[in-house]
Each structure stands twice: as C-alpha cells, then as structure tokens.
Amino acid sequence: MEAFPAVLNGIANPAHRARIEEVLAWVAGRFPQLGTRVAWGQPMFTHHDTFILSLKPSKKHLGIVPETLAIEHFADRIAAAGYESTHMIIRIPWDKPVDYALLEALIEYNIRDKADCKTFWRAS
C-alpha cells in the first residue's frame, strides 16, 4: 500500500510482507472512510482522528491491535479463531489464515463505539 511504504519495506520476510499488504489492502478497500498513518512503527487506521486499529508484525505472528475494550468484547471469537491475545494485541500466527469476518467485526465495533470519541485513545 502506498500509505505505508516505510513499514512494508522494513519487513524482511517476503511472505510476511505479502500477508500484511493483503490485510492492509483489505481494510482500506472495505473501510475507505478510514484514515491512515504510521505511528510507533505501525500502520494504523483512524476515524475522525481517533484510533481504530493497527497492525504490528513480529517474527512469529501478525499482531492486530484494536484496543483493550474490543479485545474483551470479542474474546470468545478471538479464541474460537485459534488466536492468542493479551489485553492489547491479538496474535495471528503467520501459518494461520486471517479471520476477515472477525477483523471486520472488530473494526465496525470500534467505529461505532468511538463515534463520539474526541481523543485518539479511549479514556481508561
């Protein structure tokens, strides 16, 4: 994606880079109303200048970062997809498929829940 060349060019593994490009393109195509930016070395999607989701590549997995509230809300679906999660990140192993229905639900949830949010992050 043209919005994230520095991040993508920094991913040495071609298969990992291709997977991230695929996910980024899917999000941008499915949610064209979202803005894009790079912060903390991560490609991010925003809506009215509030954080919606970021991707965080690592050696063993692709991290999906939708904020804690979204992870808690979808904990059962995350586990059912076979993904591990912490309070801040969902880990999709490189050898597992991306559950795009879950990704869509996470993004839609954040867009709805943060519709009136005036800050980048949710208030704790």
Integer Cα distance of 14 and 18 in angstroms: 6
- The position carrying tokens 């050898």 is 95
Domain ranges of the chain: 5-14+36-113
Q: What is the pTM of this model?
A: 0.94
Integer Cα distance of 58 and 65 in angstroms: 13
- Predicted local distance difference test score (pLDDT) of residue 29: 97
Q: Which CATH class is domain 5-14+36-113?
A: alpha beta
Q: State which residues of the chain have pLDDT below 70.
A: 1, 124
Angle at the Cα of 14 from the Cα atoms of 80 and 24, rounded to 5 degrees: 55
Angle at the Cα of 42 from the Cα atoms of 39 and 45, rounded to 5 degrees: 80
- Tell me the two tokens of residue 88: 């801040």
- Predicted local distance difference test score (pLDDT) of residue 124: 65
Residue of 77, 68, 83, 78 whose CA lies nearest to 113:
68
